[in-house]
Structure 1
Amino acid sequence: MYRNLLINIGVSVAFVLVAQYEVIGQQLDPELAQLIAKGLDKSHGIKINGFEAEQAKVDQRLAKSTFLPKVTINGSYTRLNDDITFDSDTRNLLVATQRLLIKEATGIPFNAEFPNDVPLTEITNLQDKNILRSSVDLDWVLFSGFEASNAFKASRHKEASFNYLGMAEKDKLALKIIETYDKLALVYASEEVLNTSKNYLNEQEYYVKKSIQNGLATPIGRKKIELAQQQLKTKQLEYNQNKILLIEVLHQLTNENRERLRLIEPQLRPFVNDSLSTIQKRNEVKALEEAEKATLYKAKMEKNSFVPKLALKGHYEFIEDDLSLLDPIWFVGMGLKWNIFDGNQSYLNSKKSVIEGRKYREQIEDAQEMISLGITKAELGYNSSLQKINMVQKEIELAKDTYKMVNKQYKNDLASITDMLEALNDLEKSNFKLQESFFDQRRAFIELLYAKGSLNY
């Protein structure tokens, strides 16, 4: 068993020496890439950002629809207390005028009596008391004073801002999933150390018992072994709890089945990439810039309320019988609306939007300063992680040579079994420290990519 363990450790060290120069880049384990994809599909925050972007897209369509004609069909019934008619003097005048026209048409002298057998037309009411109407109206904005176009541009930049926020949310979620996955891999790596320690203590317990029987050791030595075994049980309990917790966190982040998560075997492999010098604009900054542009167009839209608006108005009545004598059957007209003074509301709203834009500008500058500081910190952390790997590799080489020497001495009766087991335990612990250094290097590498806006998954 110890021989196979030693071979595995030697292979691990050889792998590290090769991997140090191998360009892995952002190649993720298939299991990890799949978990990230599922996490992105499951994330509530990402979905909410998507809905916000869809709403902004609908706002763009609303702005465009300003120039589409609006057609409205109307219907109504009204009953007045009485018919609306001419007053008596006007009615008498209309009747007298009708008689004069008939006399002139029939050749009856002006001063002659009007014949009784000639019928007269009744005077029409101005409006009957029963009014049934059905009509269609057309309202068509021809020029909105640039309000609609600026509203469209503001909504378009607002949509882009939410899209970038969604991408930033994806980056943060990917970081969480990668970190949790790596922690789980580190927990699994610690299991081998615990097993080695357990075997080591069992061997120690056996030889201590033999020594006590032969009078070569005291019961205190056995109590030390028992204490170490109890401490090991505590570490094993902590291992099991960490494993359960990390699997639960991955389940919450990705909605992956817990049983499926228990079957994965995550591995820690260092990332090395020659493209770490590439710096791209972070999605958070892009989102702020788009939000700033949206507020600027919103401010322009508020100012444009003082620009004259032009619209076409049309109306047509389907039922003519109930129209009054003064109502037209149809009409078409052009209208001009010019807001001269609105109590400074448009001016103040525009000023408010300008101030909001300045606020975004300050946030952009603050974010850029923090990102610059974060890049410096991430670069230092990444360089330190590489140095730590080199240091641990030297420790493994020393532990490996020590184990070989002690093992040879043990075979020649120049060292005790305790010395040999301690050397093996030191070698296994050094190997676990290498796994920890891998974890730190992966974290530093991913953080550096994230800081430089180059994180892809």
Structure 2
Amino acid sequence: MKEMLHLILLLLLFHSNSQAQSAPDFKELLDSALVRDADLRMQQTKNKITELDQQKLKDIFLPTLEASGMAGYMNATAHLISPEINLQPFLNIPEGKYNNNLNISGFSGLAKADAKMLLYSGGKVKYLGKALEEKQLSEKALLEKSQDEVVAIISRAYDQLALVHQSKKVLDESKKRLDANKKTADKALGYGLITPYDHKKIELAQATLDAKVAEYEGKKELLLTQLEVLTGITKDRLRQIEPVLAPITTTAPQKTIEERAEIRALDHGIAASDFKVKAERTWWIPKVQLMASAYYLGLYGSRWKTSGNIIPPIPSIGYPGRKLDWRPASLNVFPILRAGVGFQWSIFDGREGKHAAGLALIDREQLLNQKYDALRKLTLNQANNQSGYDIANAQIGLKKKQKELAQNALVQAEKEFRYGMAKSMQLIEAENDLEAAELEYQNALFNQRRAAIELMRSTQELDVTKLY
């Protein structure tokens, strides 16, 4: 049983290692790049601000509760002009008005709780909410555009790697032919059929070919580094990729320019500006709010006193009068409650609301101008991409024919060189022509793929499944 368990563990370990070391396909490269792309991540982070604004707008109707308090020493004096206490029905006291100062001092405490809740915003919150919804849709459309750009970048790097890989194969085949022709040249030199100069030409061609191989190896290493930075996949796995260039066949566009991400983003932006204009025009509509508050007032160790008598003197009985001098231990007033519905109506706001609505209209006009300009440029871009795609397809046929002619010419040159009917220079020229024709054919495939991808992007129809 233990041996079986060990065997299963070894198989699982071998499977995981083989998976970790297998060559990544294009989908894995793309998925890794989409996760790591800095511009895409920054845009996704910025989009979170809109989500927070939406939540903040929804929370505006939630009640708010504030509590505040204060404690300290109070000393207040009030100047009073009032009649004295009228005791005329009981005593013969003349009426009159007297100046008096009332002083209150002591330690005070105040606590207050306020609750508010917006009931009606005049429609401004509703329109701002719809504007934020349109803004979010606009940001999602731009996110699609950024994702397509990442696909184009990874596809280009992947195709460049394939171009280098195929070019290396072309050089390797050329090297094999030159090695075989070098052996023929060695025999011919021994028999005196060619001169040492002709023999050196073969050696020079081999050295030139070795330099090209080293150059392409450097380009491959640079591309591997680029893909490693973009995707985070190690070079050991990337080196196992053996891509092959093949032309991309596109179908007739199913979408129009108006369905591109940029135009959809501008359309949502224009809709958002329409709602913003409506929101700013609600400045004159009254806003309704529910309000409630509770107070506590306390006075401790206080003294209430007056500068003059509060009970006038009574000469008939010899009463000298009396001032107020009261020292209550504490005085508490609670609760003081207030609740009701209030409204705010900006009858004239100094034209601020009108200016804000005017700015919103200008923003809308700018977006309309941007859409007009974008439609013109994208229409020209589509026509240019279609023309480039047609030319690239024609170039593939031309370069394929040139490669076939160069192959036939090299076969003929090799026969003539083998029988001493041609010099080494003619053989080298034929070899170089074939090498150049094969490389140009691979470049034509690369250019055709770029043109096809850009044509699909021109109508936002980039289908990754058609690429590889």
TM over 0.5: same fold? yes
Of 183-192 and 297-306, the range deviating more from structure 2: 297-306
Report whether the alignment pairs 1:454 with 2:454: no
Alignment partners' CA distance in 1, 2:445 and 2:104: 93
Shift of 1:257: 1.9
Identity %: 28
Match of 1:283 among 241, 244, 261: 261
Which residue identity lines up with residue 195 of structure 1 in the other structure? Answer: D
Do the aligned partners of residues 85 and 272 (structure 1) sit closer, same or farther apart at CA in structure 2, a change above 3 Å counting? same
Partner of 1:335: 342
| Contiguous gaps of at least 5 residues in structure 2 | 1-22, 94-101, 300-329
Report whether the alignment pairs 1:381 with 2:388: yes
Report whether the alignment pairs 1:227 with 2:221: no
Of 36-45 and 192-201, the range deviating more from structure 2: 192-201
Shift of 1:77: 1.6
- 1:160 is paired with a residue whose SS is helix
Shift of 1:396: 4.6
* CA shift digits 1:391-423 (9 cap, x unpaired): 33434554566677778x689969789789987
Partner of 1:295: 273
Whether the aligned pair in 2 keeps the contact of 1:194 and 1:232 (CA below 8 Å) is yes
Shift of 1:177: 0.8
Match of 2:72 among 71, 78, 100: 78
* CA shift digits 1:375-397 (9 cap, x unpaired): 11111121222222233343455
Match of 1:372 among 367, 379, 396: 379
Partner of 1:308: 286
* CA shift digits 1:62-100 (9 cap, x unpaired): 122222211112222232135x6785967x63xx68xx9
Which residue identity lines up with residue 381 of structure 1 in the other structure? Answer: G
Partner of 1:144: 121
Do the aligned partners of residues 363 and 436 (structure 1) sit closer, same or farther apart at CA in structure 2, a change above 3 Å counting? same
Alignment partners' CA distance in 1, 2:343 and 2:139: 37
Match of 2:33 among 32, 39, 49: 39
Alignment partners' CA distance in 2, 1:65 and 1:264: 53
Alignment partners' CA distance in 2, 1:278 and 1:350: 36
Do the aligned partners of residues 386 and 111 (structure 1) sit closer, same or farther apart at CA in structure 2, a change above 3 Å counting? same
Match of 1:157 among 124, 134, 147: 134
Which residue identity lines up with residue 275 of structure 2 in the other structure? Answer: Y
Alignment partners' CA distance in 2, 1:345 and 1:325: 46
Do the aligned partners of residues 225 and 184 (structure 1) sit closer, same or farther apart at CA in structure 2, a change above 3 Å counting? same
Do the aligned partners of residues 341 and 447 (structure 1) sit closer, same or farther apart at CA in structure 2, a change above 3 Å counting? same
Alignment partners' CA distance in 1, 2:81 and 2:293: 34
Of 267-276 and 245-254, the range deviating more from structure 2: 267-276
Which residue identity lines up with residue 159 of structure 1 in the other structure? Answer: Q
Do the aligned partners of residues 209 and 424 (structure 1) sit closer, same or farther apart at CA in structure 2, a change above 3 Å counting? closer
Whether the aligned pair in 2 keeps the contact of 1:279 and 1:454 (CA below 8 Å) is no
Do the aligned partners of residues 162 and 126 (structure 1) sit closer, same or farther apart at CA in structure 2, a change above 3 Å counting? farther
Do the aligned partners of residues 126 and 343 (structure 1) sit closer, same or farther apart at CA in structure 2, a change above 3 Å counting? same
Shift of 1:129: 3.4
- 2:230 is paired with a residue whose SS is helix
Do the aligned partners of residues 320 and 277 (structure 1) sit closer, same or farther apart at CA in structure 2, a change above 3 Å counting? closer
- 2:193 is paired with a residue whose SS is coil
Shift of 1:265: 1.6
Of structures 1 and 2, the one scoring higher in RCO (CA 8 A, sep 6+) is 1
Report whether the alignment pairs 1:58 with 2:48: no
Q: TM-score, normalised by structure 1?
A: 0.76
- 1:304 is paired with a residue whose SS is coil
Report whether the alignment pairs 1:196 with 2:173: yes
* CA shift digits 1:215-240 (9 cap, x unpaired): 33333324433433343233223212
Of 416-425 and 265-274, the range deviating more from structure 2: 416-425
- 1:454 is paired with a residue whose SS is coil
Shift of 1:433: 3.7
Which residue identity lines up with residue 263 of structure 2 in the other structure? Answer: V
Alignment partners' CA distance in 1, 2:119 and 2:103: 36
Alignment partners' CA distance in 1, 2:432 and 2:72: 100
Whether the aligned pair in 1 keeps the contact of 2:24 and 2:241 (CA below 8 Å) is no
- 2:382 is paired with a residue whose SS is helix
- 2:343 is paired with a residue whose SS is strand
Which residue identity lines up with residue 462 of structure 2 in the other structure? Answer: L
Q: TM-score, normalised by structure 2?
A: 0.75
Do the aligned partners of residues 267 and 126 (structure 1) sit closer, same or farther apart at CA in structure 2, a change above 3 Å counting? farther
Do the aligned partners of residues 30 and 206 (structure 1) sit closer, same or farther apart at CA in structure 2, a change above 3 Å counting? closer
Alignment partners' CA distance in 1, 2:218 and 2:331: 87
Shift of 1:340: 2.6
Which residue identity lines up with residue 158 of structure 1 in the other structure? Answer: K
Partner of 2:315: none
Match of 2:162 among 144, 166, 185: 185
- 1:172 is paired with a residue whose SS is helix
Report whether the alignment pairs 1:443 with 2:450: yes
Partner of 2:43: 49
Whether the aligned pair in 1 keeps the contact of 2:198 and 2:423 (CA below 8 Å) is no
Shift of 1:326: 9.4
Whether the aligned pair in 2 keeps the contact of 1:128 and 1:324 (CA below 8 Å) is no
Which residue identity lines up with residue 382 of structure 1 in the other structure? Answer: Y
Do the aligned partners of residues 226 and 219 (structure 1) sit closer, same or farther apart at CA in structure 2, a change above 3 Å counting? same
Report whether the alignment pairs 1:171 with 2:165: no
Whether the aligned pair in 1 keeps the contact of 2:298 and 2:333 (CA below 8 Å) is no
Whether the aligned pair in 2 keeps the contact of 1:50 and 1:163 (CA below 8 Å) is no
Matches within 5 A, 1:206-221: 206-221=183-198
| Contiguous gaps of at least 5 residues in structure 1 | 1-28, 101-108, 114-124
Match of 1:392 among 371, 378, 399: 399
Partner of 1:116: none
Shift of 1:45: 1.1
Alignment partners' CA distance in 1, 2:423 and 2:198: 16
Which residue identity lines up with residue 47 of structure 1 in the other structure? Answer: R
Aligned length: 402
Greater share of helix: 1
Shift of 1:366: 1.1
- 1:305 is paired with a residue whose SS is coil
Alignment partners' CA distance in 2, 1:215 and 1:401: 28
Whether the aligned pair in 2 keeps the contact of 1:389 and 1:438 (CA below 8 Å) is yes
Which residue identity lines up with residue 143 of structure 1 in the other structure? Answer: Y
